[in-house]
C-alpha cells in the first residue's frame, strides 16, 4: 500500500492539477512509435558497466541495497577511470600548468602549497542539510572527479576542491602525471580506510596525503609530503592504480567487489618486484592484500586485469601550447582527450571507454547509462520514497514541484556534460537536462499503482537548444515535465533532438 500525503498537500495538488488539466488535453491517443531505436540494446552489459562508471562508488559498503539492487564497483576500479577523467578536465589541467616546473622537486613542492591553499577533506554527503541527515539519509562515499570537487567547493566556501581522501589522491595523481611524472613514478595507493598518492624522486618514494590540508593552512603542519606512514587501521596495501596500471592484491567481497578477489597485475614482474620492495617499506612493511601475499607468489598468481589497456597517456604540460595558463590548460586538455578517445571502441571496455561516462559527457554511445545511474543513485532513490503518492499524476506533479523547489536552474558542469543525479542535491543546482535525469530516477523509484514506474513510460528528452524535459506516459497520454519554468507540465514539446531512457535512445519522437 502506498503512502498517503498530508491532507493539506493533497488539496494543493488537486487544485493545481485541476488548473493544468483544463488547459491541456494531455495528448489523447498519442503514443511513441519507436521507429528509430538506435542503440536499442538487447545486451544490457555496456549500459550496466557504464552505469557503475557514472556512480563511481568506492565499494558502497554503508548504503543498503536500493529498490533495484546494490551498486557495484566500476571496472577496473574507480581510480583507473577517474584519473583519465581528471586528465581531461579543465580543473586538473589548469592545476598542472600552475604547478609545473622542469625540476620535478620544485613541481611537488608547489603542488604541496597548492593543495594546502585549495583542498579540504569532506565526505560529500556531509554537505547535505542537517534535516536530511537527521532522517537517516543513506551514508555513502561517491568518488568525485576534479570538476565535481570544484562544484562542491563552490558550496563549501572554505576551499576550492572538496572530496574525500580517494578523490583527492586521484586528483593529485592526475596532476603529477600531467606534470611529467611517468606512469611508473606516481600511483594512487588504497589502504584500509584511506588512500594517498605516492611518487618517486631520484630513486626514493614519497607519500603525498592532502587530507590534512586544512591543518596545514592553520600552521599545524609544514607539508603534506612525508617519507613514510603507518596505515590508520591495518598495515595492508590493497591496490595501486593510475591511468596505465592496476595492481590488485586482493580486496574482493562476494557482494560488493567479487571480481577483485582475483589478484591482478599488468606490470612487468621485475619492475613490480623492485617497486614494491621500496613501497612496502614506506608503508611500515605492510602486507600485500588481505591474503598477505608473498610478492613472488603474487606475481605467479596474478593475471592482467582484462578491463585495463596498458597504455599510458603520453602528454604533459611540456606539450601544451599557449601564452597564458588558461590557453595552456585548454591545449593540454584537448591533447589528452584526443589521445583517450583514440583508445576507445575495442570489443572489451577499458578504462578509457569508461572515463567519458565517469566525466559525464553527454555525447557518448550510451546516454542510457545516465538514466540507469539515476535509478540507482542513493539520495535520489531515498527522497523518492519520501515524496511518493498514491496517484500517478500526483507523482509527476510532486516530482516537478520537488525538483524545482530544491534544485536551482544552473549549469554546474561544462557544456554537453550531465551531472550524476545525487550531485544536484549536494550542489542544489543543475541544468534542465540534469533535472530531467533526476526526475527520471525519482519516478523510477516511486510506485505507479502496485509496481514501480517502468522505463518504457519515461523518456528524457533533449531539445535542439540543449534543454531537458521528461516525457511521462499516464494512461496512454504523454505529459512533459518541464524544469526551470513555472509551467511544470506541458502538453507538447518543440525542437526535439533526441530522447533516451535506461534501455534505448531515440532519434525520432512520433506522437
**Integer CA distances (angstroms), 497 to 223, 368, 494, 509, in order:** 51, 15, 9, 9
Whole-angstrom distance, CA of residue 447 vs CA of residue 20: 22
Is-contact 124 368, C-beta < 8 A?
A: no
**End-to-end C-alpha distance for the chain, whole angstroms:** 34
Look at the chain and count its residues: 511
| DSSP 8-class letter at 482 | E
Mean pLDDT of the chain, nearest integer: 86
Q: Which residues of the chain have pLDDT under 70?
A: 1-44, 58-64, 123-141, 231-233, 252-256, 485-489, 511
Is-contact 489 450, C-beta < 8 A?
A: no
Is-contact 79 400, C-beta < 8 A?
A: no
Q: Which three cell numbers stand for residue 13?
A: 495538488
Whole-structure pTM value:
0.89
* Domains of the chain, earliest start first: 7-53+367-506 (3.10.620), 77-334 (no CATH)
In this prediction, residue 14 carries a pLDDT of: 38
Rounded to 5 degrees, what are φ and ψ at 344? -100, 170
Nearest to 145 by CA among 122, 157, 161, 123: 161
Q: Which three cell numbers stand for residue 204?
A: 626514493
In this prediction, residue 81 carries a pLDDT of: 98
Whole-angstrom distance, CA of residue 506 vs CA of residue 328: 38
Nearest to 432 by CA among 383, 384, 482, 363: 482
Residue-by-residue DSSP string for 48-65: HHHHHHHH-BS---SSPP
Whole-angstrom distance, CA of residue 213 vs CA of residue 227: 17
Whole-angstrom distance, CA of residue 90 vs CA of residue 181: 19
pLDDT tens figures, 378-424: 889 988 998 999 999 999 999 999 999 999 999 999 989 999 999 99
Q: Which three cell numbers stand for residue 102?
A: 622542469
In DSSP terms, 190 is beta-bridged to 195, 239
Neighbour count for residue 488 (Cβ, 10 Å): 20
Amino acid at each position: 500500500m502506498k503512502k498517503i500525503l498530508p491532507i493539506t498537500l493533497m488539496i494543493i495538488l488537486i487544485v493545481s492539477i485541476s488548473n493544468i488539466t483544463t488547459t491541456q488535453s494531455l495528448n489523447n491517443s498519442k503514443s511513441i512509435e519507436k521507429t528509430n531505436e538506435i542503440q536499442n540494446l538487447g545486451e544490457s552489459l555496456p549500459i550496466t558497466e557504464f552505469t557503475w562508471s557514472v556512480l563511481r562508488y568506492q565499494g558502497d559498503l554503508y548504503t543498503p541495497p536500493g529498490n533495484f539492487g546494490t551498486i557495484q564497483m566500476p571496472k577496473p576500479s574507480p581510480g583507473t577511470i577517474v584519473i583519465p577523467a581528471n586528465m581531461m578536465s579543465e580543473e586538473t589541467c589548469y592545476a598542472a600548468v600552475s604547478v609545473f616546473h622542469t625540476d620535478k622537486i620544485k613541481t611537488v613542492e608547489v603542488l604541496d602549497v597548492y593543495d594546502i591553499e585549495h583542498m579540504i577533506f569532506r565526505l560529500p554527503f556531509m554537505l547535505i542539510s542537517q534535516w536530511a541527515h537527521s532522517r537517516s539519509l543513506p551514508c555513502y562515499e561517491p568518488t568525485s572527479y576534479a570538476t565535481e570537487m570544484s562544484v562542491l567547493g563552490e558550496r563549501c566556501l572554505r576551499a576550492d576542491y572538496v572530496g574525500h581522501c580517494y578523490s583527492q589522491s586521484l586528483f593529485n595523481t592526475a596532476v603529477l602525471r600531467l606534470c611529467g611524472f611517468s606512469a611508473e613514478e606516481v600511483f594512487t595507493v588504497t589502504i584500509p580506510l584511506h588512500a594517498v598518492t605516492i611518487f618517486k624522486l631520484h630513486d626514493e618514494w614519497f607519500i603525498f596525503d592532502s587530507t590534512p590540508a586544512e591543518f596545514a593552512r592553520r600552521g599545524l603542519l609544514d607539508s603534506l609530503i612525508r617519507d613514510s606512514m603507518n596505515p590508520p587501521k591495518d598495515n595492508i596495501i590493497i591496490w595501486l592504480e593510475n591511468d596505465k596500471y592496476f595492481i590488485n592484491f586482493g580486496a574482493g567481497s562476494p557482494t560488493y567487489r567479487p571480481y577483485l578477489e582475483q589478484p591482478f597485475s599488468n606490470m612487468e614482474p621485475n619492475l613490480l618486484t623492485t617497486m614494491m620492495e621500496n613501497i612496502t617499506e614506506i608503508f611500515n612493511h605492510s602486507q600485500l592484500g588481505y591474503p598477505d601475499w608473498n610478492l613472488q607468489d603474487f606475481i605467479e598468481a596474478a593475471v592482467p586485469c582484462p578491463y585495463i589497456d596498458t597504455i599510458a597517456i603520453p602528454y604533459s604540460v611540456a606539450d601544451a601550447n599557449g601564452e597564458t595558463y588558461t590557453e595552456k590548460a585548454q591545449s593540454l586538455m584537448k591533447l589528452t582527450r584526443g589521445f583517450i578517445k583514440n583508445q576507445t571502441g575495442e570489443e572489451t571496455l577499458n578504462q578509457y571507454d569508461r572515463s567519458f561516462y565517469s566525466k559525464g559527457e553527454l555525447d557518448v554511445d550510451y546516454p542510457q547509462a545516465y538514466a540507469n545511474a539515476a535509478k540507482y543513485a542513493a539520495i535520489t532513490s531515498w527522497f523518492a520514497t519520501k515524496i511518493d503518492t498514491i496517484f500517478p499524476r500526483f507523482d509527476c506533479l510532486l516530482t516537478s514541484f520537488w525538483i524545482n523547489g530544491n534544485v536551482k536552474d544552473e549549469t554546474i558542469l561544462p557544456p554537453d556534460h550531465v551531472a550524476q543525479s545525487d550531485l544536484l542535491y549536494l550542489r542544489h543546482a543543475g541544468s534542465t537536462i540534469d533535472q530531467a535525469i533526476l526526475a527520471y530516477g525519482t519516478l523510477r523509484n516511486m510506485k505507479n499503482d502496485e509496481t514501480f514506474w517502468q522505463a518504457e513510460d519515461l523518456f528524457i528528452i533533449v531539445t535542439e537548444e540543449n534543454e531537458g524535459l521528461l516525457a511521462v506516459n499516464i494512461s496512454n497520454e504523454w505529459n512533459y515535465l518541464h524544469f526551470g519554468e513555472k509551467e511544470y507540465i506541458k502538453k507538447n514539446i518543440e525542437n526535439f533532438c533526441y530522447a533516451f531512457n535506461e534501455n534505448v535512445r531515440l532519434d525520432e519522437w512520433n506522437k
